[in-house]
Amino acid sequence: MLNGKNAVVTGSTSGIGLGLAEALAKAGANIALNGFGDPAEIEKSRARLENDFGVQVIYNGADMTKPHEIEALVDEAVAKLGSLDIVVNNAGIQNVDPIEEFPVEKWDAILAINLSSAFHMIRTTVGPMKQRKWGRIINLASAHGLVASPFKSAYVAAKHGMVGLTKTVALETAEFGITCNAICPGYVMTPLVEKQIPATAEARGLTEVEVVRDVLLDAQSTKQFVTLEQLGALATFLCSDEAAQITGAALPVDGGWTAH
Ligand code: NAD
């Protein structure tokens, strides 16, 4: 379905990004991976996607806090794969603290990685998409792009910003065959979520088991985590021609969380 298309997925060495990269590769797209991690593990993922799906997969370790490295990532992907058709802005980090104790450097990093990096990716890739009259931009927001939770001021602010950026880019690109949408997952059990369980337990005075049951899955009405496969299927559909009239949307995949 996506044969011959070239996709970049930021933050795709782990979790949701790797899941989305796999789904797009399975659909036939060539992939530029990005993110941090153990070089041997990253190479294993890169080679696995290439071998399993018969597509070209490259890796660039650009730091999403650095606009010039983002530009270099785009340049390398275009040089090695060809023009970019699909941009998935997924890289993200989290920090859980009451606002009066929220570390300033964490606020700055979350805004840079979870929001500003999407601005830099889009501004450097959308021009050629407009010229070719086809493009798909998928921004990984969150249920926290639609509703808030305490102790996540920077994350909630960045994800609400991501939904606003999505709508603006959708309006600017609507007549150029480009769609821009936000996927808003509820909780998915990835390293990002695992890491915040102890911090949430401390911030709220709960055990880790209580955090999973009473905090993470409390509002997620199905009481189940969202899976990588479910997110991959939605991202692939958004890249299809059948999804050409879905743009500017913030699509919850949250087991009913934001229906409350
Ligand atoms: P994760 O920690 O498993 O993966 C994050 C990825 O981002 C990794 O590849 C990491 O290397 C990369 N990354 C971090 N800092 C970076 C930087 N400065 N430059 C480049 N890459 C960087 O997290 P995840 O749960 O897979 O989250 C992926 C996205 O989905 C995030 O934007 C997150 O906010 C969003 N999300 C996650 C959940 C969830 O429950 N896991 C829910 C809603 C939204």
> Could you tell me the CATH number of the domain that includes residue 237?
3.40.50.720
Name the pLDDT band for 223 (thresholds 50, 70, 90). very high
Q: Is the pLDDT of residue 192 over 90?
A: no
197 and 145 in a common domain = no
Place of tokens 């964490």: 106
Q: Do 92 and 173 fall within a single domain?
A: yes
| pLDDT tens-digit series, residues 52-72 | 999 999 999 999 999 999 999
- Distance, in Å, from the CA atom of 178 to the CA atom of 239, rounded to the nearest integer, reads 10
In a domain, 260, yes or no: no
Question: Which atom of ligand 1 is closest in space to residue 91's alpha carbon?
Answer: 7
Q: What is the mean pLDDT of residues 34-41?
A: 98
155 is catalytic: yes
CA–CA gap between residue 190 and residue 193 (Å, rounded): 5
End-to-end CA distance of the chain: 36
Q: Are residues 216 and 156 in the same domain?
A: no
Question: Is residue 145 domain-shared with residue 79, that is, in the same domain?
Answer: yes
19, 104: one domain: yes
Please compute the mean of the pLDDT values over residues 25-33 and round it to a whole number: 98
Domain count, the chain: 2
pLDDT in the model for residue 120: 98
User: Tens of pLDDT along 150-173?
Assistant: 999 999 999 999 999 999 999 999
Enclosing domain of residue 209: 189-225
From the list 70, 69, 61, 24, the residue with the least C-alpha distance to 41 is 61
CB 236 within 8 A of CB 1: yes
Confidence band, pLDDT 50/70/90 cuts, at residue 195: confident
pLDDT tens per residue across span 230-248? 999 999 999 999 999 999 9
| Torsional sign, CA 190, 161, 58, 30 | positive
Fill in the DSSP letter of residue 140: E
Note whether 210 and 242 are same-domain residues. no
- Within this chain, do residues 156 and 67 fall inside the same structural domain, yes or no? yes
- Decide if 102 is inside a domain: yes
In a domain, 259, yes or no: no
Token pair 């102790």 is found at 151
Q: Mapping DSSP to helix (H, G, I), strand (E, B) and coil, where does residue 25 land?
A: helix
Burial of residue 100 (CB within 10 Å: 0-12, 13-18, 19+) is exposed
Q: Name which of 120, 135, 235, 119 is nearest 175 in CA terms.
A: 135
Asked whether residue 64 falls in the same domain as residue 79, the answer is yes
What is the DSSP annotation of 89-139?
A: E---------GGG--HHHHHHHHIIIIIHHHHHHHHHHHHHHHHT-EEEEE
Residue with tokens 């080679």: 47
- Residue 198 counted as domain residue: yes
* Distance between Cα 75 and ligand 1 center (Å): 23
Three-state SS at 201: helix
pLDDT score at 196: 84
CA of 140 to the centre of ligand 1 (A): 9
243 lines ligand 1 (CB under 6 A): no
Residue 78 lies in a domain: yes
Provide the percentage of residues in the chain whose pLDDT is more than 90.
93
> Does 12 fall in a domain?
yes
Residue 130 CB: number of other CB atoms within 10 A? 16
Q: Would the CB of 145 count as within 6 Å of ligand 1?
A: no
Tokens of 204: 């709220």
Q: What is the mean pLDDT of residues 126-140?
A: 98
Percentage of the residues of the chain whose pLDDT score is greater than 70 = 100
Clarify whether residues 74 and 199 are in a common domain.
no
Predicted confidence (pLDDT) at residue 193 exceeds the cutoff of 90 = no
**Which is higher by pLDDT, 191 or 163?**
163
- Residue 179 pLDDT: 99
- Cα of 16 vs centre of ligand 1, distance in Å, is 7
In 3D space, the residue among 134, 159, 126, 130 whose CA is nearest the CA of residue 144 turns out to be: 159
pLDDT of 191 over the 90 cut: no
Residue 68 lies in a domain: yes
Residue 194 shares a structural domain with residue 142: no
Element spanning 149, H or E: none
